[in-house]
Amino acid sequence: MRRPELRFSGRVCFCFIVLLLSILSTQAAAQFETATVSGRVIDPSGLSVAGARVKLVDIDRGTTNTTVTNISGLYAFPNVRPGRYLMQVDAQGFKTVNVTGLGINTQANLEQNFRLQVGSISESLTVEASSSPDLSGAVGTTVGQKLVQDIPLNGRSFQTLFQLTPGTVVANTSYAEQGQFSVNGQRTAANYVQVDGASANVGIAAATSPGQSMAGALPALTASGGTNSLVSVNALQEFRIQTSTYAPEFGRSPGAQVSIVTRSGTNQLHGTAFDYVRNDMFDANDWFAKRNGLPRAQLRQNDFGGVIGGPIIRDATFFFFSYEGLRLRQPTTTLTDVPTLAARQSAIPAMQPFLNAFPAPTGSDEGNGLAPANYAYSNPSRLDATSVRIDQKVATNLMLFGRYNNAPSNFGVRGGGGNGLSTVQLVDFGLQTLTLGANYLRSISLANEFRFNLSWASSSAKYVPDAFGGAQPVPLSSVIPSTQPLSTSEFQLYIDSGVSTVFSSGLQARNRQRQLNIIDSISVQQGAHSLKVGVDFRRLTPTTTNNTYYQSPDFPDIPSAQAGDLSSGFGEVLAFAGPVRSTYDNYSVFGQDTWRVRARLLLTYGLRWEFNPTPSGEGQNGLAPAVAANLGALSKASIAPSNAPFYHAPASNFAPRLGLSYAIDNSEQWQTTLKSGFGIFYDLGNGPVGYAFSYSPFTAVSFPSSTFPFSSSDATPPVFQPSGPYITQVVAFPYTLKLPYTYEWNLSVDQSLRTNQSLTLGYVGAAGRRLLRLDSIRGSVVPAVFSGGLLFINNLAESNYDAFQAQFMRRQSHGLQILASYSWAHSLDNGSTNTNNSVPSAQVSPSIDYGPSDFDIRHTGSLALNYDVPLLASRGLARSFLSGWSVSTLFLARTASPVDVTVRRNAGFGTLEENLTREL
């Protein structure tokens, strides 16, 4: 399939910005997780002090940045790395002021003002930094290293802490929808995660139809769904999650913008070793296992590792190394159905091996040839995550860094994928990332940021039968034709009348994802204006390799299975033309200005441009995707000419954004700040395109005769039909598929409560428009060439969200740190996901399919508290054992989800479509 070209306007715009950045700076640099510190220096009477020297000292790395105030007494430090700092201000005729204990967080826009006292410059005044307001108009939360390390986290994965941000709702995951959480009514696949400023959305699902993950909509988590693959908790500096009206430099999707910053070495050598242990000797037996007389299954958890960081060359070169390993055996108790012993013995000889492949029953005959099988067992899981980071101070104005991360993980689930307990689903995930960057300050007023990232992600899933519970596994070679490779073949046998009466063996999927991400921006300080322009290019090249051969008999009940009779069921044989390689490009350009209009008023405004060309790809031997045309009249739908794009992608995706911050009360300990923001935020808009590389013509299917085992002719792989007719679905698009977008707005009041506490109360709204929706079109309304039907992707979905949100924050003071939030919200839509294979649109028309979202949770609350216990002993051995203790807790509460009202209709090959949710 030919790659679509950039339209002239899009090509010129993107290339012009790249050229501009090259001209402005001859050296590149980098950290989009950096912050900005600005403020004003005044004398005792409130007049501006021009020419005052302001120093910002990085305590851990020994670096110092210096600037001077302009004629209005204003100063600014752009591109400040998060960490601990000291500030110093001096001017002729005034005492020198030192501010200690200044903590600067990820992407913060902090205001630090100074009122100088008349005196000699040799005299100094030292004060402790107070809680300065974040002047950004965005809604978000920053969680620091100490809270992350001290709060108890299941599996030491920190995405649980995302719920400390108001508007965040944990959502159910599924085979096709794996986004984990929603913010402010946005879909779970609309979140964007960055590590050290580069995209971490490189996860690829271990599925035959990876769908949205092929387009970079999901972060690369571990096989068990944890963030440990991105960064270990002990290697995390902090993370910030922005949920609404963030600046133009952030985007690509309208959901949460999660920015993770990793730790770097300092001038002091520090290390930590840890091992978190759980064992069944500390736990009671599972209630269901105990009730049924089953032994306690083995529980073993060891989460171990360590970090070490320090100087290679003092004040110049630093290193930080991290390793985390996980060895887990998770106890589980499961009740399934299996064929009775009598049913196995009375089956025809050809079917007895398949019925004997299930575990032995543990209960009596249920009257239908099935019996219960109740077993306790443990599922294994493993992780090995290693990372190393090097920071290099080349000059006082140039810092370079590089980080490499390698995090393979896997798990095994007995009975996974709806199978019987004698089938183990083995899932392997791999992730390698390399991020390079620099931070170059060309002058006091000009800085350049740059990021280069290469990422490699992989996933695979296969079914392995074993002898669990007395089962006798069927060799895969006994059912797969000798002409087909066993390493890429799969067999599945279904008995529909039982619970998990499925036997599987062989490869399910083996997928890979590759990412190239290049980001560059220029920051210019000009008087009261802080200007920033930049580009963000990302290329994803996923490769999907399903089982190249698949065979499956589906029996309605035990008598049919005993006889090998499929007359009331069905059998199928599939072939997949893999591997299929595809390409997804994302172009982003932004420009913004942070303008201090008055001493109390700060405006951030700008524009972001998004362009995501139509994805392209091809299968083995150059097989191109099927592209449907003439969809305006379905009866006249046809196959488009060879090499035609799926759809035409418009380039006119401009997103204006505005945020303001106004200081109502500027008193030192009781500051009151009004914040507001509005903007347009585009989504990727190409997630479901991944289905087009898994369905026709890459998949061929045949339906054997009504007898199993299949004859050699019935088991022969079906022939691919590049030009149809297509027995499986064809993914179809309108002539122009527009980028989905969301309007977002908020209004809040931030109140400082003395030195280290603040309370924020606000209203947040969002309106999603042109959201993607999938509708299944089947039957006589489509031409015979589409006999398997069309999966039509369109822009007919929309959503609306309104919420009251509150957050209380207390910085670490007198040993106590608190972060609490509450949301009262309502989310409505006519499509909470873009992954459902819908029933015919006549059944659930978008115009009537509108109601509470899947993630419409009315009330959510969270509390994280950490308290450092005072020193209990002052000297000797007792001090070693009784110092450094802390008490931490995490509390989460929420109301229930809406009740689902579903259409129990077979939409083809067992797909069931959810209609909408209603409140009861």
| Mean pLDDT value across residues 778-806 | 89
Please tell me the pTM assigned to this model. 0.88
pLDDT of 906: 38
The percent of residues above 70 in pLDDT, for the chain, comes to 91
Which range (330-344, 856-870, 903-917) has the least confidence? 903-917
Q: Is the pLDDT of residue 374 over 60?
A: yes
The set of residues, in sequence order, having a beta carbon less than 8 Å from that of 547 and lying 6+ positions away, is: 208, 488, 489, 490, 506, 507, 508, 509, 574, 576
Q: How confident is the model at residue 836 (pLDDT cuts 50, 70, 90)?
A: low
Measured CA to CA, the distance from residue 498 to residue 491 in angstroms comes to: 19
| All structural domains of the chain with their residue ranges | 31-129, 140-151+158-563+570-918
Q: Is the pLDDT of residue 343 over 90?
A: yes
| Mean per-residue pLDDT over the chain, rounded | 87
Q: Is the pLDDT of residue 628 over 70?
A: yes
Residue (of 916, 850, 863) closest to 894 by Cα position = 863
Torsion sign across C-alpha atoms 750, 751, 754, 758: negative
Neighbours of 597 (CB within 10 A): 12
Residue (of 463, 483, 367) closest to 421 by Cα position = 463
| Mean pLDDT value across residues 627-653 | 86
Measured CA to CA, the distance from residue 212 to residue 187 in angstroms comes to: 12
| Mean pLDDT value across residues 74-102 | 86
Q: How confident is the model at residue 687 (pLDDT cuts 50, 70, 90)?
A: confident
What is the three-class DSSP state of 403?
strand
Q: How confident is the model at residue 31 (pLDDT cuts 50, 70, 90)?
A: very low
C-alpha separations of 97 from 90, 382, 565, 667 in Å: 7, 53, 89, 19
Contact between 626 and 592 under an 8 Å Cβ cutoff? The reply is: no
pLDDT of 874: 63
Q: How confident is the model at residue 729 (pLDDT cuts 50, 70, 90)?
A: confident
| Mean pLDDT value across residues 207-213 | 85
Which range (349-363, 577-591, 835-849, 889-903) has the least confidence? 835-849
Helical ranges in 159-311 per DSSP H: 287-291
Q: Which residues pair with 915 in a beta bridge?
A: none
The set of residues, in sequence order, having a beta carbon less than 8 Å from that of 461 and lying 6+ positions away, is: 206, 207, 425, 426, 427, 428, 507, 508, 509
Most confidently modeled range among 213-217, 589-593, 781-785: 589-593
619: tokens are 């299968």
Residue with tokens 């508290």: 865
Residue (of 385, 307, 402, 316) closest to 31 by Cα position = 402
Q: How confident is the model at residue 844 (pLDDT cuts 50, 70, 90)?
A: low
- What is the rounded (10 degree) CA torsion for 553, 547, 205, 203? 180
pLDDT of 484: 94
Contact between 186 and 740 under an 8 Å Cβ cutoff? The reply is: no
Per-residue DSSP letter, 298: P
Q: How confident is the model at residue 466 (pLDDT cuts 50, 70, 90)?
A: very high
What is the three-class DSSP state of 242?
strand
Torsion sign across C-alpha atoms 194, 196, 199, 200: negative
Span 31-129: which CATH code? 2.60.40.10
| Mean pLDDT value across residues 438-453 | 87
Q: Which residues pair with 912 in a beta bridge?
A: 906
pLDDT of 641: 85
Measured CA to CA, the distance from residue 312 to residue 803 in angstroms comes to: 50
Q: Is the pLDDT of residue 893 over 90?
A: yes
Residue (of 883, 829, 868) closest to 852 by Cα position = 829
Q: Is the pLDDT of residue 679 over 90?
A: yes
Q: Is the pLDDT of residue 642 over 90?
A: no
Sheet holding 257-262, edge to edge: 139-144, 236-244, 257-262, 192-195, 198-199
614: tokens are 């139509």
Most confidently modeled range among 238-252, 437-451, 628-642: 238-252
Farthest CA pair distance, the chain? 104
Strand locations in 59-157, DSSP E?
64-68, 74-80, 83-90, 96-104, 109-111, 114-115, 124-128, 139-144
Q: Which helix (H) or strand (E) holds 374?
A: strand 370-395
Q: How confident is the model at residue 596 (pLDDT cuts 50, 70, 90)?
A: confident
Instruction: Give per-residue pLDDT as tens, 656-671.
Output: 999 999 999 877 778 8
The percent of residues above 90 in pLDDT, for the chain, comes to 53
Q: Is the pLDDT of residue 877 over 80?
A: no
Q: What angle do CA 105, 107, 110 make, to 5 degrees?
A: 65
Q: Is the pLDDT of residue 903 over 60?
A: no
| Mean pLDDT value across residues 101-126 | 82
Q: How confident is the model at residue 30 (pLDDT cuts 50, 70, 90)?
A: very low
Q: Which helix (H) or strand (E) holds 852?
A: strand 851-852
**140-151+158-563+570-918: CATH class:** mainly beta
Contact between 590 and 610 under an 8 Å Cβ cutoff? The reply is: no
Q: Is the pLDDT of residue 478 over 60?
A: yes
Residue (of 867, 872, 858) closest to 167 by Cα position = 858
374: tokens are 């109740």
Q: Is the pLDDT of residue 621 over 80?
A: no
Q: How confident is the model at residue 19 (pLDDT cuts 50, 70, 90)?
A: very low
Q: Is the pLDDT of residue 174 over 70?
A: no
Residue (of 414, 396, 569) closest to 493 by Cα position = 569
